[in-house]
């Protein structure tokens, strides 16, 4: 006869850290069981340095996090006071934990309690961006979604006697969303975005705008214009309507354009086009057309 397994009673005997609760005596074969919840709450009575005493106020912690905090505590008490070297957070993390991503994970999880980068004499870096800078009196920045269109705008802006844009940035699709802090460092007066007419293109713009405005507000900087370039999209639509090709959408996701994103006619046409499962790649606006548009803009600005 098979013996029964009696499950423990009381929440203190269950590891609710996992997606479903398990008895604490069931161990997972993870790296040194670092995901096991520390049931005894040893961190409550541990001798923390003054800047790490907040750890004792936490109600829940895994063994791995507890060990990591002890390493940081040792750094604060025995190493930090004897050194002034500041290195990147991944470099510091690799030295302290043998895992270059560990410190960032801890920082994000516990940033409401302390700045773990500051405590470990480290700093975060931002994703670099690919851009071209021009000698222009205007402080306008254009961000382009795709590589070929970026190349065409750079070449066209170079051909102008007076460049229309001071900066042209290669957004590289969704990658630009991880570069917003770097963009914030540019002293721009206006940001214009130009991407594909599809779900991803408009999603990138909306997220970019939201993140950029939030960071400017967080940094105490005044708001600036961050918009789509209506003229470029008008020209793109004109080309699309005069060729024989349809471009099926890559995504089945639906996107509803906001009322203020374009003028009414353009918004309705783009919305209908996307609702019918089509898209317009920005590459339809080639270098020759781009050059004409920029030449007209420079001429009009002189009037």
β-bridge mates for residue 15, sequence order: 22
Helix (H) or strand (E) holding 247: strand 247-248
CATH no., domain 130-302: 3.40.1360
Say which residue the tokens 């001071």 belong to. Answer: 166
Given this model, what pLDDT does residue 1 score?
A: 47
Q: How many CA atoms lie within 13 A of 163 on its CB side?
A: 21
Given this model, what pLDDT does residue 3 score?
A: 57
Given this model, what pLDDT does residue 219 score?
A: 87
Please name which of 151, 155, 147 lies closest in space to residue 172, comparing C-alpha atoms: 147
Distance of CA 47 to the CA centre of its chain: 37
Given this model, what pLDDT does residue 81 score?
A: 63
Say which residue the tokens 């003054």 belong to. Answer: 50
- Provide the 3-class DSSP secondary structure of residue 36: coil
Q: Are strands 130-133 and 225-228 parallel, antiparallel or unpaired?
A: unpaired
Given this model, what pLDDT does residue 20 score?
A: 42
Percent helix, strand and coil across the chain, each to the nearest 5: 50, 15, 40
- CATH 3.40.1360 residue spans of the chain: 130-302
pLDDT tens, N- to C-terminus, the chain (303 residues): 455 566 666 655 554 444 344 444 444 444 444 556 666 789 999 999 999 999 999 998 898 999 999 999 999 888 766 666 889 999 999 999 989 999 999 999 999 999 999 999 999 887 788 999 999 888 999 999 999 999 999 999 999 999 999 999 999 999 999 899 899 989 999 999 999 999 999 999 999 999 999 999 988 888 888 999 999 999 999 999 998 888 998 888 888 888 888 888 999 999 999 999 999 999 999 999 999 999 999 888 765
Q: Phi-psi bin for 144: left (phi > 0), alpha (psi -120 to 50), beta?
A: beta
What is the model's pTM? 0.69
């Amino acid at each position: 006869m098979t013996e029964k397994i009696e499950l423990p009673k009381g929440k203190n005997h269950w590891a609710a850290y996992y997606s479903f609760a398990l008895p604490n005596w069931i161990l997972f074969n993870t790296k040194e069981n670092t995901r096991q919840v520390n049931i005894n709450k040893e961190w409550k009575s541990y001798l923390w340095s003054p800047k790490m005493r907040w750890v004792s106020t936490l109600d829940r912690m895994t063994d791995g996090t507890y060990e990591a905090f002890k390493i940081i505590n040792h750094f604060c008490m025995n190493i930090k006071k004897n050194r002034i070297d500041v290195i990147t957070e991944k470099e510091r993390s690799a030295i302290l934990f043998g895992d270059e991503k560990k410190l960032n994970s801890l920082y994000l999880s516990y940033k409401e309690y302390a700045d773990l980068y500051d405590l470990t004499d480290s700093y975060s870096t931002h994703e670099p961006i690919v851009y071209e800078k021009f000698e222009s009196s205007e402080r306008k920045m254009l961000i382009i979604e795709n590589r070929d269109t970026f190349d065409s705008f750079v070449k066209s802006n170079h051909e102008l006697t007076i460049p229309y844009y001071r900066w042209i940035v290669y957004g590289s699709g969704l990658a630009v969303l991880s570069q917003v802090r770097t963009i914030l460092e540019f002293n721009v007066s206006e940001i214009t975005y130009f991407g594909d007419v599809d779900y991803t293109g408009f999603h990138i713009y909306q997220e970019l705008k939201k993140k950029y405005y939030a960071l400017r507000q967080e940094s105490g900087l005044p708001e600036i214009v961050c918009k789509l370039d209506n003229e470029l999209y008008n020209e793109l639509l004109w080309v699309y309507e005069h060729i024989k090709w349809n471009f099926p959408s890559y995504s089945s996701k639906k996107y509803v354009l906001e009322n203020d994103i374009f003028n009414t006619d353009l918004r309705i046409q783009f919305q209908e086009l996307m609702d019918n499962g089509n898209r317009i790649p920005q590459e339809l606006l080639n270098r020759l057309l781009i050059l004409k548009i920029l030449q007209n803009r420079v001429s009009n600005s002189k009037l």
